[in-house]
């Protein structure tokens, strides 16, 4: 039948829509113009007419009442260009960040949407998805890179050697692990603990974005370059921004060295402690063992 979408294409579109839905993007429009006015356009229902809309901008502009539709070929609808903003603020939200407008999103719902994920190649070698752990309304969130072997085995973030050091750091700040939230950019262990690749980060980080949106912490500490680059959407190295206050949406963000780096370079611990003291000052914390 003319105009019918081939079955394999229907399947692909359905999968893609399910993927967007998992990311929390649930608003779609097909065609903003009446077909009769623009007969050159693809038939309704063709994939060319299926566009993903940002729920923030869901309301479509209406033509002024006096405006008459013209019958010239309309210019193709240009996607709004988002000029990259200079640090220290994270750039404006992208398509995937549309997830931030999910009403009543919860960590449980995000975990359910993640499911037994097979969206990227990391699923092939993982044993357990490491979603995140800690206080669901923590004022302080630590974001690491990705699970290692111990985390992959236990399903919990930062429980290996680097994790023990992170726990000591948290406790030195006068907190316990249950007071903070700890998660990673990617939720599955990269083989041989390699750095997660761009496509893996792109696939997984929308879930991190949603976690941060739900928790809405006062402070986010990025542990290492991967977390920093992912959240600040930059390719710049961490070194020039380490220990500086940056903005991530409604949270303050500070990047510091990853605990695994500190295990290899114990001399850098002093720098990290200075960074954490900045966080403590913002959160009104006193170092462990220090009385008023
Ligand atoms: N390193 C990370 O970045 N995350 C973990 O959960 C463990 C080690």
Task: Tell me the best of 159, 163, 195 to mutate to test the pocket of ligand 1, counting ligand atoms within 8 Å of each CB and taking the most.
Answer: 163
In angstroms, rounded to a whole number, what is the distance separating the alpha carbons of residues 83 and 70?
A: 31
Measured from the CA of 184, which atom of ligand 1 is nearest?
A: 4
Cα-Cα-Cα-Cα dihedral sign, residues 130, 181, 92, 51: positive
- For residue 82, pLDDT beyond 50: no
**Which of 7-21, 79-93, 117-131, 186-200 is the least confident region?**
79-93
- For residue 259, pLDDT beyond 50: yes
pLDDT of residue 80: 46
Q: Which two tokens stand for residue 27?
A: 């608003």
pLDDT of residue 55: 31
Residue 8: which pLDDT band, with cuts at 50, 70 and 90? confident
CB contact set of 71 (below 8 Å; sequence gap of 6+): 37
Measured from the CA of 258, which atom of ligand 1 is nearest?
A: 3
Cα of 252 from ligand 1 centre, angstroms: 21
> What are 47-63's pLDDT values in tens digits?
333 333 333 233 333 33
Q: Is the CB of 219 under 6 A from ligand 1?
A: no
Strands 140-144 and 181-184: parallel
Cα of 157 from ligand 1 centre, angstroms: 6
**Which of 9-18, 70-79, 226-235, 273-282 is the least confident region?**
70-79
Cα-Cα-Cα-Cα dihedral sign, residues 147, 148, 154, 159: negative
- For residue 142, pLDDT beyond 70: yes
The answer to whether residues 282 and 252 touch, using CB atoms and an 8 Å cutoff, is yes
> What are 89-138's pLDDT values in tens digits?
776 555 555 444 578 999 999 999 999 999 999 999 999 999 999 999 99
Top mean pLDDT of 20-29, 66-75, 84-93, 110-119 is at 110-119
Q: Tell me if the pTM is above 0.85.
A: no
Cα of 21 from ligand 1 centre, angstroms: 27
Burial of 95 (0-12, 13-18, 19+ CB in 10 A): middle
DSSP label of 174: T
The answer to whether residues 232 and 90 touch, using CB atoms and an 8 Å cutoff, is yes
* Average pLDDT score, the chain: 81
Element containing residue 134 per DSSP (H, E): strand 133-134
In angstroms, rounded to a whole number, what is the distance separating the alpha carbons of residues 241 and 255?
A: 7
Q: Is the CB of 22 under 6 A from ligand 1?
A: no
Cα of 103 from ligand 1 centre, angstroms: 30
Q: Give the residue-averaged pLDDT of 233-258.
A: 97
Q: How far is CA 248 from CA 69, 84, 90, in A?
A: 42, 14, 5
**Which of 1-5, 92-96, 191-195 is the least confident region?**
92-96
- For residue 246, pLDDT beyond 60: yes
Q: Which residue has the higher pLDDT, 9 or 125?
A: 125
**Coil, strand or helix: which one is 100?**
helix
pLDDT of residue 286: 95
Q: Which CATH architecture has domain 99-283?
A: 3-Layer(aba) Sandwich (3.40)
* Domain residue spans of the chain: 2-52, 99-283
In angstroms, rounded to a whole number, what is the distance separating the alpha carbons of residues 230 and 158?
A: 19
In angstroms, rounded to a whole number, what is the distance separating the alpha carbons of residues 148 and 153?
A: 9
Q: Is the CB of 151 under 6 A from ligand 1?
A: yes
Distance of CA 148 to the CA centre of its chain: 20
Closest CA to 169 of 292, 250, 263: 263
Beta-ladder partners of 133: 182
Q: Is the CB of 24 under 6 A from ligand 1?
A: no
């Amino acid at each position: 039948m003319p105009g019918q979408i081939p079955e394999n294409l229907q399947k692909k579109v359905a999968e893609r829509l399910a993927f967007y839905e998992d990311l929390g993007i649930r608003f779609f429009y097909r065609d903003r113009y009446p077909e009769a006015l623009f007969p050159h356009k693809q038939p309704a229902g063709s994939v060319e007419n299926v566009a993903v809309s940002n729920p923030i901008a869901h309301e479509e502009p209406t033509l002024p009442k006096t405006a008459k539709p013209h019958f010239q070929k309309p210019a193709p609808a240009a996607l709004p260009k988002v000029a990259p903003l200079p640090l220290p603020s994270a750039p404006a939200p992208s398509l995937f960040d549309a997830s931030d407008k999910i009403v009543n999103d919860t960590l449980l719902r995000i975990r359910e949407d993640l499911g037994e994920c097979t969206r990227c190649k990391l699923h092939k070698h993982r044993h357990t998805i490491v979603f995140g752990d800690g206080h669901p309304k923590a004022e302080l969130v630590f974001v690491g890179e990705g699970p290692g072997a111990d985390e992959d085995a236990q399903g919990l973030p930062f429980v290996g050697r680097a994790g023990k050091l992170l726990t000591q750091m948290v406790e030195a700040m006068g907190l316990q692990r249950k007071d903070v939230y700890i998660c990673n950019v990617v939720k599955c262990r990269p083989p041989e603990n390699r750095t997660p690749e761009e496509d893996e980060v792109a696939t997984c980080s929308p879930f991190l974005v949603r976690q941060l949106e739900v928790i809405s912490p006062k402070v986010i500490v990025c542990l290492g370059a991967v977390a920093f680059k992912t959240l600040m959407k930059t390719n710049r190295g961490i070194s020039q921004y380490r220990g500086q206050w940056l903005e991530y949406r409604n949270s303050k963000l500070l990047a510091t060295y990853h605990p695994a780096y500190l295990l290899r370079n114990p001399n850098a611990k002093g720098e990290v402690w200075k960074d954490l003291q900045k966080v403590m000052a913002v959160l009104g914390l006193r170092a462990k063992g220090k009385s008023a």
